[in-house]
Structure 1
Amino acid sequence: MSWISLKTTPTRWEAELMQQILAAHQIPTRIIDLGIGSYMGTGSPAALQVRSQDRWTALLLLSPLEEEQAPEEDV
């Protein structure tokens, strides 16, 4: 099984939150620590990985929603 890094975060808790969102949609994930352990509550950088075949679905689920813009009226 091939895993790819989908996102890197400055803190592990952000990666864990994204992991929970993807788990709710049955997308397997894993978190890789990228630095030393937490120091005084600042956390450590981490990478969220998904299987390569789940990449696009995961990106869509984690992407921000696009806001609908009202059409501009000519005055």
Structure 2
Amino acid sequence: PDQKPGGDTDKPTVPSEPDHNQEHDHNQSHNASLRKQAEVNSLRQGAANAQVTQMNRASQDGFHAAGSPPVPVSR
């Protein structure tokens, strides 16, 4: 414990402020965790959207989804 010239040992030497600072920190960390949760949810949603668009998109480069080339149409 810090010793003051007056022999006051139970109080720290930093200027004492009301405890609203602690509550402010708590609210900040709460908001941060909410923000993180929303971030994770949007990332999950984005991944789900990517999967859906991948399934719905037409096959590219002339290949079917199975990986075999399309049969050419003979006339």
Q: TM-score range by the shorter chain?
A: under 0.3
Structure of larger gyration radius: 2
From the two aligned structures, give the one with the greater helix fraction: 2
Q: Compare relative contact order (CA 8 Å, sep 6+) and give the higher one, 1 or 2.
A: 1
TM-score (norm 1): 0.24
